Structure 1
């Protein structure tokens, strides 16, 4: 009887966790080993669930205290199934004016959910590819930062845009 109660409690807890993230359609992280090189592209191959519902797209980052900048510049490219390509240069705030890193997390690793695109319709059938690379530069320097420290994981997330 006691085991059944524990099993029911675990099942209820699991359902609660899953229901808290009911908008998630796709959520994948890829590790960045030690440093993120400026030529290293993190790619995600995506098969959208449908072509009629709108979706919100996010870039997810995990970073440590070794990340020493207040912002982050990314180049994000979305390759469509039939050859169309959209390329964006994006800037995100990573720290407040005092230098405290933004993001969620109680440990030294912070997780940032960064808006990429809102209300996207995947109108072309087939697989899409999202490519992400950093585009950081020091002030006054033409050449980009060769290796970026403190980013541990880069992720891509798709959520339903419907209100629940």
Structure 2
């Protein structure tokens, strides 16, 4: 029995050490719930990130959760990147959320499907300062029904 406890403690210690070594380097990780699962044009998802070292690369992600009743196999979003005193940069993205046979690509949990989709990878901000990231849905439907929440995640890349 003592050997069993020793092995169990060893496994627990190794697992804890491995997990503590997995630093995600998340700078921002937010989600905004959509009222009544309806994402309207004026309900933008915003995050502010303070960049102190513009030589460091970052990954910026669009996070999305929708129900199984979402009516499309894709979504269009606009991302705006703005630093006070500089010109706002905007870009339109399309993401495929389902296979041609209707199977959702996201991770399913009950009636919700979750996605973490890349916006900018290995991105270096032009200069230090505070940047506002803003996402808005860019589909024809307003509001876009069956969207539970959306968010922005910014992670520093370890060098």
Q: Secondary structure of 1:136's match?
A: coil
Please list every run of 5 or more consecutive structure 2 residues that lacks an aligned counterpart in the other structure: none
What is the rounded CA distance, in whole Å, between the counterparts of 2:146 and 2:22 in structure 1?
29
- Structure 1: stretches of 5+ with no match in the other structure: 138-144
The equivalent residue for 2:145 is: 149
Structure 1 segment 108-123 matched on structure 2, within 5 A: 108-123=111-126
Other-structure match for 1:53: 56
**Alpha-carbon distance in 2 for matches of 1:14, 1:149:** 41
Residue 95 (structure 1) aligned to one of 70, 94, 98? 98
Q: Distance between the aligned counterparts of 2:114 and 2:17, measured in 1?
A: 23
Would you say how many aligned residue pairs link Structure 1 and Structure 2? 151
When the two chains are superposed, the root-mean-square deviation of aligned CA atoms in Å is 2.6
TM-score by length of 2: 0.80
The answer to which structure has the higher strand fraction is 2
**Secondary structure at 1:127 match in 2:** strand
Contact 2:66 2:149 (C-alpha < 8 Å) held by counterparts? yes
Contact 1:82–1:124 under 8 Å retained in 2: no
